[in-house]
A and B are shown apart, each in its own frame.
Chain A
Amino acid sequence: MKAYSLLYLAIGAMFFTSCTKDFQKINTNNNSPSSTRPEYHFTEAITQTAYAYQENAFDRRPAALGRYITLVRNNDYETFRWTAVDWNDIYQRAMIIKTMQQEATTTAQPVYVATGNILMAFNISYLTDLYGDVPYSQALQSVSTGNIKPAYDKQQDIYMSLLQLLKDANEQLRTAGTGIDASADALYAGKALQWRKLANSLRLRLLLRCSKVYAKAFTDMQEIINNSDLYPIFTANTDNAEVIYQGVKKDDSWPGGAKNMIDADFAKTRASKELVDVLIARNDPRLAVWVAPVASTAGSTVDHNQYVGVPHALANPADYNGGETHQSVLSSFFRQDKATGLKASLMIYPEVCFILAEAAQTGKVTIPSKTAESLYHDGIEASMDYYGVKAQAVTQAYYDSPLVKYDGTQKQLIIQKWLAMLFRGSEGWFDFRRTGFPEFVTGPMAFQPQFPVRYCWPTSEPNVNNDSYRAAIAVFGADDINTKMWYLK
C-alpha cells in the first residue's frame, strides 16, 4: 500500500503542477479582438467627435457662455462659478484617431491617415481653443513610448502644427483620395473632395482665430481662396460637416431629446434675453423656429412680449417677469431625438461665409467676385436656408431691415454670425472673446465681473502630471479662467 501511495502522490503532483502550458490559452481574452479594421475606428471617431461636440454646444458651458440659453436653476455655468473641466473625451477621441491611423498604415490604407489628420486637427484645435496650452507633441504616447507625463505645448506651436496637418491632409487626399468606406464614413459617405473642403474650411476657421497674432494668417487665407482647385472649401450647405442622429439609442440621439434630457432639464433651459431681444429687434424668422412663446403674457411684469428671454445670472431667475410661465423655453424643434434639420455639426457653410466676410472686411484678403457684404448676405441666407425660412426672410424683407442691412461694422457681422452659429460648437463664445461682440453682460450674480476666457485644466492634472502642469503654468500663466491664451493676447 505504501508503494501505491507514493505512486498516487507522484501522479497527483504532476497533475497539479505540470500544466502551465494551457495558461496562455486560458489567459487569452476572446471577448474582443486585439486589433480591428480602421473603418470601425473611423466611424467611431467621426460619430463620437460630432455627437460630443454638438452635445457641448447645446447643453453645456458653450451654450451658456455663448449666451444662447439661460438656466433658471443650477446656473453655475453662467454665473462663472466653475470648477475645472475634464478633457477626457477629447483625448480619448484623439487616441482612437491615432489608433486608426496606425491600423491604416499597417493595412496600407493611407486614406484613413489623411482623414484621420483632419479629425485630429478638429479635436485638438477644439481642445486648445478651450484650454490654451495643452499636451500635444508628447501626447498619446503611453502605449507607444510609455510617456505618461507629456509636457504641455504652447498654443502657438500647436496651431502651427494643426494648420500644417490640415494642409497636408488636403494634399494627401488630392493625390490619393480613394478607398474611403462609404458606409463607415458618417460624414461624407466616402467622398474625398468633401473631406478636403472640410480640411481647408477648418484652416480658415483656425487662421481667423489666430489672425490677431499670427502675421501670415491672412496671406495663408488668401492662398486658399486663390486656389479653389487646390484648396476647395465649403460652397453650400450640402458641404456641411454633419452627422445625422439615428434617434434610436441614447448615444445616437439629439442631446435635447427625451432620451438624453429629462423634462425638468429641458424646462429649466430658457432662451436668453440676448438671443430673444436680438431676434425680435430684427423680426428674425428663426425666432419662431428656435424659441417657444410664453405660456401666458397675462401677468408678465417686465417683458410683455410673446417671446421672453431671461437675463443671465439673476438672483431669482425663475421669478423673472412674474414667473416661469412668462418665460420662453426653447422650441419643440430642440426637443426631439431625431429631428429633421438637426444634425451634429462639426462645421457648416454659413460659418465659412462669415469668416470670409470678416477677412474681407479687414481688407487684407480679397475674394474673387465677392465682397464683405455679399459674403455677409450669403452667410445669413445659408443660415435661413438651413432652418427652412429662406423664403420667409425674403418675404419679411429681412435683409433690408435697418439692423440687418450691411453697415460695414464687425459688430453687425459678428451678431449675424452669432445667430447663424447657434449651438455650433463654442463659436459664439470664441468669437465674443476674440472680438467683444455681441456685447454680452455678466449679470448681477456673476462670481466675477469679467467673462471667462478659458477652462481650467482638469483637476486630476496636478495629481497625475504635476511636473508638466507646473511647467505649463510657468509658461502659460495661472491656471485660471481669466488667463488669456496666445491668440487672445
Chain B
Amino acid sequence: MASPLRNALMLLAITAAAGAITAVPERSVRMVPTDTLGGSAEVGDLPEDGMPRLDEDGHGGSKDGTPDGGPGKQGPTGHRYECAPGKNGGSTEKGVTATSINLASTIVTSGPGSTFLGQSQYGLQAVVAKVNAGGGICGRSLRLRLVNDNWEAQRGHQFLRNFINDPAILALPVVPSSEGLLAASREIAEAGVPVIGSDGMLIDQYQNRWIWPVATATVSQMRILAKHAYDQGSRGFGIVYDKRYKFGVEGKTAYEQYVRSLPGARLVHAEGIEPGQPGYGPEIDRVSKACGQSSCEAMVMLLDPGTAEVWVAGDDKFSSRSKYRLGAQPLFNDRFGQNCRDRCDGMIVVSGYVPPLEGNSSLPGIRTYVQDVKAVQPNADVTNQFLEGAYLGMTVFVEVLKRVGPNLTRAALRQTMDSFDFESDLSGPLSWRPDKRFANTRAQAWRMRASSSFDGFQDLRTGWLNDPNG
C-alpha cells in the first residue's frame, strides 16, 4: 500500500477515534436526566474533585455522566461490595438491607407549625419516589416513614426516640419538625444517628455533630434582615417574636445582639408573644406605644404564619407603623400572603433557597423540583420555602448515600457529610466540614405584593445577602 494512502488512513482512523469517543459523552449527557438520583446499574469513579454536582438538568451524578458511589468498596468482613443489586453487601448497618434503606422523620401536618411546615412531606416523598423509580441506590430502594408530631417538642421527642432505638432505621432525613429534633438532639448524638438536610430553624442543629442542615439558620436570617434594613437607612428596630418555640427566642437574641453592634442603631422594642392565641390586643398596644412616632423603622415578624395572620388582622397600624416590615423564611409562604393581603403589601421576606418564581423558573433544577413535587402532590405549594428546603435536604441526603456507595454505614455517612460539597439551582453552593455546619449562610430578599388580594412575591433583585457574621 502506498505511503500517502497509509498516512491518510491513519489520519482518518485517529479522526474517527476522536469522533467516536466524543460521541459517547454526547449520548450520556442526553441520557443523564433519564437516570434519576440513584442510578444503581452503572458504576463509575468519583470526579477528580470528589464533588457531586447537579448536571444541566438539575439531576445528580458526576459531570462525566456516571453516578457517584465508588465501585468495589471494601466491607467490614473484607469482602468487596459493588454498587449493584445483589452485590451491595446486604445489611451493612442498622436499617440497611440488601434491597432497602429504611428512614424515618417527623413532620408537622397539624397545629401552628403546619401553616409553613405542613407541605414539607411532599419534598421528601418526591425525592423518594424519584430515587426508587430509578432503581434505588446501589440496588436498595428507600423506605421512608413519616409521623406527624404537631410541632410539639415532647411528642416529637418521643417519636424520634423510638426511631433512634429502632434497629430497622438507618437515619433521619430532613426532620421538618424542629421542636422535636431539638428535644431529641442529645440522643441523636449519643446514638450516632445521622440527621441530614434539616431546616436550620434552631441553632442546636448547627452544633450537633450528627446533624447537617441545608437551610440558612434563623439566626443568620435575622442578621441579614437587620443589615438589609440598616443599609436602607433604618436605625430604630423592633421585633415581634414567638416566645414559646425556640426559633423565636434564638432569632430574637441574634437580632438584638446584631442590632446593638450596628453604629447608631438601637432595638426600640421586642415583643414576645405566645403563638396560636385568638388575638393579641394588649401586645399590639404595647408595640404601638413603644414604637410610636415611627421609632421602629424596621419591624421584624418572627412568627409562624398562622400566628402572624392573627397578629396582622388585629393590628391596624401594621402597615403604617414601620417603614420596613420584615419577615423570616416561615412567612415566605403563599398562604400567609393570601390571608394577610394588603396589610402585607411591601413586606420584605427572605429565603435561603431559590424560589420557583420569576426568572428562576427557567433554571433546570428548579423546573425539576417543581415537576417532581407535583408528580406526588399536584396541589403542593411549591413556593413554600420549607417544602423546597425539604426537597433540597432529601436530595443532599440521597447524594451522600450515593457517594457512600454499597458499604453503607452511619459512620460513613458522617465521614462523607463532613467533607461534602453540593451545588444545585435550589440554593447557593453548600459545603460542610467537621467544624463547619453553617453550609448555607445567605438569603435572598423578596417583596410581598398585594392590592385587594395577594398578588405574589416580587424579586427585589438583591442577589444573595450574606450573614454579616459569616
B and A form one assembly: no
Q: Which residues of B are at the interface with A, using a C-beta cutoff of 8 A?
A: none
